[in-house]
Amino acid sequence: MQWLKLKLCFIFIISISIRFSSGNSGRDPNGYITYCPCMGRFGNQADHFLGSLAFAKALNRTLILPPWVEYRQGELRSRQVPFNAYFEVNPLLEYHRVLTMADFMWHLADDVWPESERVSFCYMERKSLQEEKNDPEKPNCHAKDGNPFGPFWDTFHIDFVKSEFYGPLHFDVHHSAVAAKWQAKYPAETWPVLAFTGAPASFPVQLENCPLQKYLQWNSRYRDAARDFIKEQLPRGAFLGIHLRNGIDWVRACEHVKDSQHLFASPQCLGYRNERGNLYPELCMPSKEAIVRQLKRTIKNVRQTQPNNEIKSVFVASDSNHMIGELNSALSRMGISVHKLPEDDPYLDLAILGQSNHFIGNCISSYSAFVKRERDTHGFPTYFWGFPNEKDRHQPKVHEEL
């Protein structure tokens, strides 16, 4: 019995500490922002998160940290994974007020956001996939129509009683006075929660919001797992991390390169105004031969310029083909071993890539962009497949700018 009392007391103390570590010490009179991270997979959601965090700070509202939306093979409905399953909450509080969505719904929603007052926000009417729901006289956000929209809000038993169209307001708080307009149109006294059908942010992430990555820190589980893998599985010495994006969905996405100035995260290497060049196919889908050539060139350059920090191994993260056999064959004579996780874990891949001594990523991929932003906060070098273009490699200043 005494043991049971101690256990219950411990659980109570932990629940209280979690509540306060999430920034929840009572109702925020300035209001809240919540949203569904309903566009794309993790890389896109991370871009949107940084923008949403900046937007919440500009409006001086607490950001409700949404779960990450994940799609598992063979499952029809998305899964919602708690924000803090991967990242710490407390470092975000150094920048702005935040709390997890579960914390808000369990402790504050009944008072702050009763069921009869839950309104969904969208720029303009969002058509339903079910034609009978579309009423020209009653435009609607249809915030729960489709996947992941429905499963996301259902996770927290949230239904909306009506829709609010916020157009022509927008989310660029860095180059306009739009934050004051949001506050004037939607004061917290009458609109305590702004619940968006999608992230209140642009994609790719605005340049001004990239530094916010320093507040997005891996939790102890992933920090420890990354450290243990590097220490126990990789040879002692420097290692080179690489990201190979080569799944069939990516092959199809790369077909749009020829018709675009920007594609996904391409501004991370080309610049937001294409000041470092225009798109070309090799940026999106480099050949196996080009990958091997660039790996060898990078390893040799490091050996020449940093002889005391010689690369001993390569760690590969990929959504499909890790090319372990091809890379081992190509690099074995250089004394380089090639490694991957024994079981796929894209988040642990990210945590390891962030700690690599050197990193080569995909310019177009928002997954690679997450790694680059994290490395930028530590001053670690990042390169990109096929960049600069083969014919421009005599211009070393391009990489220096990155």
pLDDT at 158 over 90: yes
Residue finishing a domain among 208, 233, 253: 208
pLDDT, residue 394, reads 52
Q: Are residues 193 and 131 in the same domain?
A: yes
In a domain, residue 215? The reply is no
Q: Are residues 185 and 239 in the same domain?
A: no
| Average pLDDT over all residues of the chain | 92
C-alpha–C-alpha distance, residues 79 and 45, integer Å: 14
The residue with greater pLDDT, 267 or 129, is 267
Q: Which amino acid is at 170?
A: H
Question: Could you please report the per-residue DSSP string of 134-162?
Answer: --TTS----TTSSTTHHHHHHTTT---SE
Residue 33 in tokens: 């922002």
pLDDT, residue 393, reads 58
pLDDT, residue 6, reads 42
Q: Are residues 239 and 178 in the same domain?
A: no
The tens digit of pLDDT for each residue in 23-47 reads 445 899 999 999 999 999 999 999 9
| Domain CATH code at residue 264 | 3.40.50.11350
Q: Are residues 186 and 264 in the same domain?
A: no
Task: Give 248's contacts (C-beta < 8 A, 6+ positions apart).
Answer: 320
Q: Are residues 268 and 360 in the same domain?
A: yes
pLDDT at 61 over 70: yes
Q: Tell me the mean pLDDT in the region 61-80.
A: 95
Q: Which of 349, 365, 353, 343 is nearest to 241 (CA)?
A: 353
Question: Could you please report the per-residue DSSP string of 229-285?
Answer: HHHHHSPSSEEEEEEE--SHHHHHHGGGGGG-S--TTTHHHH-TT-TT----HHHHS
C-alpha–C-alpha distance, residues 198 and 35, integer Å: 6
**Rg of the Cα atoms in the chain:** 23
Q: Are residues 20 and 152 in the same domain?
A: yes
In a domain, residue 1? The reply is no
Q: Are residues 178 and 51 in the same domain?
A: yes
Q: Which residues partner with 243 through β-bridges?
A: 317
In a domain, residue 6? The reply is no
User: Collapsing DSSP states into helix, strand and coil, what is residue 68?
Assistant: strand
In a domain, residue 367? The reply is yes
Q: Are residues 116 and 224 in the same domain?
A: no
Q: Are residues 114 and 242 in the same domain?
A: no
pLDDT, residue 396, reads 47
Structural domain containing residue 165: 11-208
Per-residue exposure over 308-321, b if at least 16 CB sit within 10 Å of its own CB, e if not? eeebbbbbbbbbee
The tens digit of pLDDT for each residue in 188-227 reads 999 999 999 999 999 999 999 999 999 999 999 999 999 9
In a domain, residue 2? The reply is no
In a domain, residue 318? The reply is yes
- Identify the helix (H) or strand (E) that includes residue 1: none
pLDDT, residue 136, reads 76
Identify whether the C-beta of residue 256 lies closer than 8 Å to the C-beta of residue 334: no
Q: Which of 249, 269, 260, 280 is nearest to 362 (CA)?
A: 269
Identify whether the C-beta of residue 356 lies closer than 8 Å to the C-beta of residue 241: yes
Residue finishing a domain among 184, 208, 232: 208
Q: Are residues 265 and 369 in the same domain?
A: yes
The tens digit of pLDDT for each residue in 344-399 reads 999 999 999 999 999 999 999 999 999 999 999 999 999 999 999 876 655 444 44
Q: Which amino acid is at 364?
A: I
In a domain, residue 286? The reply is yes
Q: pLDDT-based confidence at 127, cuts 50/70/90?
A: confident
Dihedral angle sign, alpha carbons of residues 134, 138, 143, 144: negative
Identify whether the C-beta of residue 150 lies closer than 8 Å to the C-beta of residue 141: no
C-alpha–C-alpha distance, residues 165 and 163, integer Å: 7
Task: Give 100's contacts (C-beta < 8 A, 6+ positions apart).
Answer: 22, 64, 65, 82, 83, 84, 89
pLDDT, residue 7, reads 40
Q: Which of 344, 342, 372 is nearest to 242 (CA)?
A: 372
pLDDT, residue 2, reads 47
pLDDT at 12 over 50: no
Instruction: Note every long-range contact of 335-339, with CB atoms under 8 Å and residues 24 or more positions apart, other chains counting.
Output: 336/299, 336/311, 336/312, 337/235, 337/312, 337/313, 338/313, 338/314, 339/233, 339/234, 339/313, 339/314, 339/315
pLDDT at 20 over 50: no
| Domain CATH code at residue 99 | 3.40.50.11340
Q: Which residues partner with 311 through β-bridges?
A: 238
The residue with greater pLDDT, 401 or 208, is 208
Q: Are residues 15 and 61 in the same domain?
A: yes
Q: pLDDT-based confidence at 15, cuts 50/70/90?
A: very low
Residue finishing a domain among 175, 208, 241: 208
* Total count of domains within the chain: 2
Q: Which of 205, 242, 210, 204 is nearest to 385 (CA)?
A: 242
User: Collapsing DSSP states into helix, strand and coil, what is residue 63?
Assistant: strand
Q: Are residues 224 and 341 in the same domain?
A: yes
- Number of residues that this document lists for the chain: 402
This prediction has a pTM of 0.90
The residue with greater pLDDT, 73 or 134, is 73
pLDDT at 134 over 80: no
Angle at 28 between CA 23 and CA 32, to 5 degrees: 90
The residue with greater pLDDT, 228 or 3, is 228
pLDDT, residue 392, reads 64
Q: pLDDT-based confidence at 9, cuts 50/70/90?
A: very low
Q: Tell me the mean pLDDT in the region 90-96.
A: 98
In a domain, residue 214? The reply is no
